[in-house]
Structure 1
Amino acid sequence: MLSRLLKGPGRLPPIQPQQPTPELFGNVSVVVPTLNEAGRITPLLSGLSQQSYEVREIIVVDSNSQDGTPDLVKAKQQKDPRFRVMTDDPLPAEWVGRPWALHNGFLHSCEDSEWFLGMDADTQPHPGLVAGLVQTAIAQGYDLVSLSPQFILQYPGECLLQPALLMTLLYRFDPAGIRTEQPERVMANGQCFLCRRAVLAAVGGYTSASSSFCDDVTLARYIAAQGYKVGFLDGAKVLKVRMYEGALETWKEWGRSLDLKDASTSGQIWGDLWILSAVQGLPLLIILTYLIFLPTPLSVPQMLLLGLNGFLLLIRFGMLLAIAPSYDRTIAKGGWLFWLSPLADPIAVLRIFLSAFRTPREWRGRKYGMSAES
């Protein structure tokens, strides 16, 4: 854990919004998968329309939404002809909905675009996001790069739980902006996922992640294993996201993909669960147990164990300070609960355990049977 944290000072700085250069003209095809996203897609559509001439086209791949999502896209198309909407149904039995939609968008995107950019409907891109992302990818020699966003918090429960769930990733993987050498430990975020079109074509689009509920990480690790350079960078200055409404939805929806079991071996999963238990889930419980139940004075072994867990808890609060810029709490009710999120660590680790042993049966309104587990 310390070896990962000590890499922090050497990481690349956050992506900055930039203006495109002439050679980027029409270089990017954006693909957005949607299923009943009318309630939250408007900020994304507005943000994409503010991107400059580097964006050739914006393809919204809709899975037969029943809430008017395609109508919002068509209305935007009247003002910005780069937008178009297509339908990806029917969903093949061996595919999960999100990678299937992205795969279809890739197949129908313009072959003259050098870059493919997948974005989720809950993202809110700033002007200059795409230009800044592409220029950084070129400067750093990345074939694939994705961003960690700034999360928008609104309700008290999510202010407490969401940072604790995010911390389960930070304890297991290198921080954003660090070059990860082992393909099997690469991190990625499909909310903003930029890949060279030639590379995506060479690996067969999203076929390697067809049945994955964490297709972004599965695909990124597969591409890294083929020898391509994959990056995961800090995008808090160019991208915001409002993922889920409240603690219950956060627990249910985000928690079931954070285990990354579709992109990991069983050995990696068990190792990660052990790490999370030892350094995030148990320290607070052990300290509370000592304070409540153990008599004083403590023996030397008891003092050493208490000191070790106190040290781990101190690191945890230090990491909370480090991730504070990754959260927008300006509209949050009870935003101060963010600073108490270490209290939710045992619950967050429990959620990863529960998710690691269960295959999702429903995702974004779609139900899956045994074929989605293979």
Structure 2
Amino acid sequence: MTMPALFADTGRLVGLVLLALQVWLLLVLLVRLMPGYSRRPPIAPRRTPRHDTTVTVMVTTLNEAQRVGPCLEGLMQQQAPLLEVLVVDSRSTDGTRELVEAAAARDPRIRLVTDDPLPPGWVGKVWALENGLRHAKGEWVLGIDADTVPAPGLVGAVIDAVEQDGYDVASFSPQFRDQTPAERFVQPAMLCTLVYRCGAAGATQPPPDRVLANGQCFIARRDLLLTHGGYSCARNSWCDDVTLARHLAANGARVGFLDGSNIIQVRSYASLSEMWREWGRSFDLKDATPMWRRWLDVALVWAVQGLPLPILLVVGTLIATGAVNLVASPSAMLWRALLLVNGSALFIRLFMLWALRGCYAERGLTFWFSWVADLAASWRLTLSTARRPKAWRGRSFESLAAS
């Protein structure tokens, strides 16, 4: 066999393997996305109070003076069933505590709580939530992150939502705001990997090991949390929200993940580099997903999100230069199949971009071209899956990384 013929045969074999993998993973993706067609619309704020239940809101803080103000302002606008707001602070030194005390002077429902010293084996935020749970008095416990802006009527809305579908636990996806153009180019591509791996917010509840959650707005029955050990199941988890939600779902709780873009906004990061670093540490869901499944998800994201555009560009270039003949060559059927499969994957990706538009308060040109950043998002997911974080928000967690 001549060398050109050997290369041609090897190329066809590689193409066939790639095509088979893409077809299989594209079918897996379609099965995951199909429930999204019947998903619930975004939750609407509740305009009137309700007095038939009570909610404790917990906000964990560690040097959040630059971000916690709008969160506290939004919480002060909440009506019943809000009973209390516990701000669980981990000994901030930047003025966070003074801001909270000033808010408490304006609204007696706000209370500053200092968590106990962080014990070995716990992530700081999870330990703060555990401390807050010990002080909570409401029938429901609602975790709100300090970088979020709750809309008026949020607390009543989440209670309406969980009661409508009989959820014991639910979390709500936010609307992202005040992002830089660079963030709006990369972050939607990273967000899309989550949808590809876990399904859309508001869709039918998936199996427990595919449940998705968002700790920025996470509500659960207080008695249920206490029965299942509080937050201890997620004590060393970098994706504590998903770990907790999947643990409770596996133990019989009905868990929902709903679209909260009309009730909560978030400005999580100050720059693209911070978003790449801080969100990237956990968005592979490493502590809530078996390793083999994480790497299968990485393969899916590469096959149906990261590679379709480059493959289409390469094949298109080969056709344009005459290196590939779609009619007379021995590999014509393979090339046509690659075009069809990757064109279909790109079409789904563009449809997902349209479906996710409501998650962004500002969009602009970079948002609409964020699908070009799918290679970067696939690479970030791979890095996150391969590495375990050692630090977060100024705290070192070397022992957790080693374990």
Which TM-score applies when normalising by structure 1?
0.95
Shift of 1:12: 1.6
Larger Rg: 2
Instruction: Name structure 2 gaps, 5 residues minimum.
Output: 1-28, 327-331
Corresponding residue SS for 2:171: strand
1:88 aligned onto 2:115: yes
Partner amino acid for 1:158? E
Alignment-derived partner of residue 7 in structure 1: 35
Q: Is the 8 A contact 1:77 1:83 kept in 2?
A: yes
Shift of 1:93: 1.1
Alignment-derived partner of residue 129 in structure 2: 102
- CA–CA distance in structure 2, aligned partners of residues 273 and 174 of structure 1: 15
Shift of 1:285: 1.4
- CA–CA distance in structure 2, aligned partners of residues 338 and 181 of structure 1: 28
Shift of 1:91: 0.7
Q: Is the 8 A contact 1:95 1:372 kept in 2?
A: no
Alignment-derived partner of residue 220 in structure 2: 195
Q: Is the 8 A contact 1:117 1:193 kept in 2?
A: yes
The answer to which of 35-44 and 6-15 deviates more is: 6-15
- CA–CA distance in structure 1, aligned partners of residues 82 and 339 of structure 2: 55
Q: Deviations over 1:342-368 (max 9, x none)?
A: 110010010010011111111111111
The share of aligned pairs that are identical, in percent, is 49
The answer to which of 130-139 and 194-203 deviates more is: 130-139
From 306, 320, 329, the equivalent of 2:353 is 320
Instruction: Name structure 1 gaps, 5 residues minimum.
Output: none
Q: Deviations over 1:301-357 (max 9, x none)?
A: 11210221011111111110000011011xx7xx31000001100100100100111
Q: Is the 8 A contact 2:84 2:110 kept in 1?
A: yes
Q: Deviations over 1:158-193 (max 9, x none)?
A: 010010010010111121112324111111000000
1:210 aligned onto 2:243: no
1:170 aligned onto 2:195: yes
1:223 aligned onto 2:223: no
- CA–CA distance in structure 2, aligned partners of residues 139 and 215 of structure 1: 26
1:35-46 superposed matches below 5 A:
35-46=62-73
Alignment-derived partner of residue 292 in structure 2: 267
Alignment-derived partner of residue 17 in structure 2: none
Alignment-derived partner of residue 5 in structure 2: none
Alignment-derived partner of residue 45 in structure 2: 17
From 306, 313, 319, the equivalent of 1:288 is 313
Shift of 1:210: 0.3
Runs ≥4 residues deviating over 3 A: 371-374
User: How many residue pairs are counted as aligned between the two chains?
Assistant: 366
- CA–CA distance in structure 2, aligned partners of residues 5 and 351 of structure 1: 22
- CA–CA distance in structure 2, aligned partners of residues 175 and 251 of structure 1: 22
RMSD of Structure 2 on Structure 1 (CA): 1.3
- CA–CA distance in structure 2, aligned partners of residues 371 and 187 of structure 1: 23
From 47, 50, 54, the equivalent of 2:77 is 50
Which TM-score applies when normalising by structure 2?
0.88
Q: Is the 8 A contact 2:188 2:370 kept in 1?
A: yes
Q: Is the 8 A contact 2:80 2:156 kept in 1?
A: no
Alignment-derived partner of residue 93 in structure 2: 66
